Amino acid sequence: MFLSGRFFWFLGAVTALFAASYPFSWLFPLAQTALVGFLGLVLTDGMLLFRQKPALTCRRELNPVFSLSDPNTVRILVENQSGMFLQLSIADELPEQFQIRDEEIKLGLPAKQHQVLDRILRPLSRGAYDFGHINVFVATRIGLLERRLIFEQTQQVSVYPSIIQMKQFELRAMRHIAHDTGIKKMRRIGHSYEFDQIKNYVQGDDYRSVNWKASSRRATLMVNQYEDEKSQQVYCIVDKSRVMRMPFEGLSLMDYAINTTLAISNIILKKQDKAGLLSFSDVMGATLKAERDTGQLNRIMESLYREKERPVESNFELLYEGVRRLIGARSLLLLFTNFESMYALDRALPTLRRIGRAHLLVVVFFENTEIRKLAQEDVVTTADMYRQTVARQFLQDKKEMVTKLRQYGIQAVLTKPQDLTLNTINKYLELKSRGLI
């Protein structure tokens, strides 16, 4: 049994009435009457609450798999099966990862009525999340006492890389709705080697693809249409060293890379290419050979779910040996890493050049959005001017890294963390349209 705030309010009022009756004796009978009435209300409230267990049901509904960094709905269904109005205060035992401890849902529920309560949760780390019991504090319309009911609803959900984001970008890429979504339509330069069909010429078709024999038979211009080459190997390589632990909007750079890896792998498979996965730091992590079968996406997702950041420097020599041992044929390699200084890039560049000689290497690294905000702030003091100068030099260094990588034949993508998936997909589509893979 718990005493409600209304109980203490009434108790305080009765006590104050007794205190006021000492100089004014005529108030004493009124105070006694108030006390008797208060005790009668408490007794009545207690009988209504504890004579029998309130006919109340409460359960939680949620998806057994949550999507990292996306809004996930947790639904609580509560039903009052009794014949009286109930005041409820619901405290759900949420996983410790959310750090929500003092949030309660208060509502009044009429007799024979039910209500559906939705809560949106946004997980910011992968792993297992344990939900506990649902605690419901029940009071009658009098509201002086509360009774706690515990509904055993222990559940565990797994937070996987963003499945929601994967499906959204699949829809965008497959429908080619570039102007609405940011996915670019890539104009083909020349054509690849796989013949698709002969079709009527329309303005903009490559005149070098005109099929003169078919044109003479149909008395109208006909052109050969080619399709993207299929079954090409594409590997996503995730750096899980300390440079990827930097947080942006609650997510680490590694988690941004993991979400993007799942989304781009899905599109790679939809494009009939083979998707593979590598991860590394001071040791090699996940190694999945590029395949195109139906279970490959699930294997990639399970591998990404288990990946953990490591507080160590990345070993690019180890990556080179892993690539050389695992990947035989020329492939497209999407390397998600981060360089915060030109010195860090210069240390890795010789190894990246060796990898780039055997494969088409795309280095994807991150723009520091906090530094950009600092570079765009108004200057008031001399210290502000120095900070802004350093910030702008830092941003310029990042641009020079892109230039330097391209000078050595390495493709480079410098992106904001929140734009990573979009820019990576566009780069993949661009390389396919240019026939580079």
pLDDT at residue 414 above 70?
yes
Q: Are 59 and 76 a contacting pair, CB within 8 Å?
A: yes
Look at the block and give the residue holding tokens 């759900």. 92
If one compares 230 and 421, the residue with the highest pLDDT of the two is 421
Contacts of 105 (CB under 8 A, 6+ apart): 76, 88, 89, 90, 91, 92, 117
Using a pLDDT cut of 70, give the percent of the chain over it.
91
pLDDT at residue 190 above 60?
no
Using a pLDDT cut of 90, give the percent of the chain over it.
54
Could you tell me the pTM of the whole model? 0.78
Q: The tokens of 5 are what?
A: 């705030």
Determine the pLDDT at residue 227. 57
292-346 tens-digit pLDDT: 988 999 999 999 999 999 999 999 999 999 999 999 889 999 999 999 899 999 9
Q: Categorize the per-residue pLDDT at 130 as very low, low, confident or very high, splitting at 50, 70 and 90.
A: very high
Could you tell me if residue 417 is left (phi over 0), alpha (psi between -120 and 50 degrees) or otherwise beta? alpha
pLDDT at residue 137 above 80?
yes
Coarse DSSP helix, strand, coil percentages of the chain, rounded to the nearest 5 percent: 40, 30, 30
pLDDT at residue 179 above 80?
no
347-389 tens-digit pLDDT: 999 999 999 999 999 999 999 888 888 888 888 888 888 888 8
Q: Categorize the per-residue pLDDT at 177 as very low, low, confident or very high, splitting at 50, 70 and 90.
A: very low
If one compares 50 and 419, the residue with the highest pLDDT of the two is 419
Provide the mean pLDDT of the chain.
86
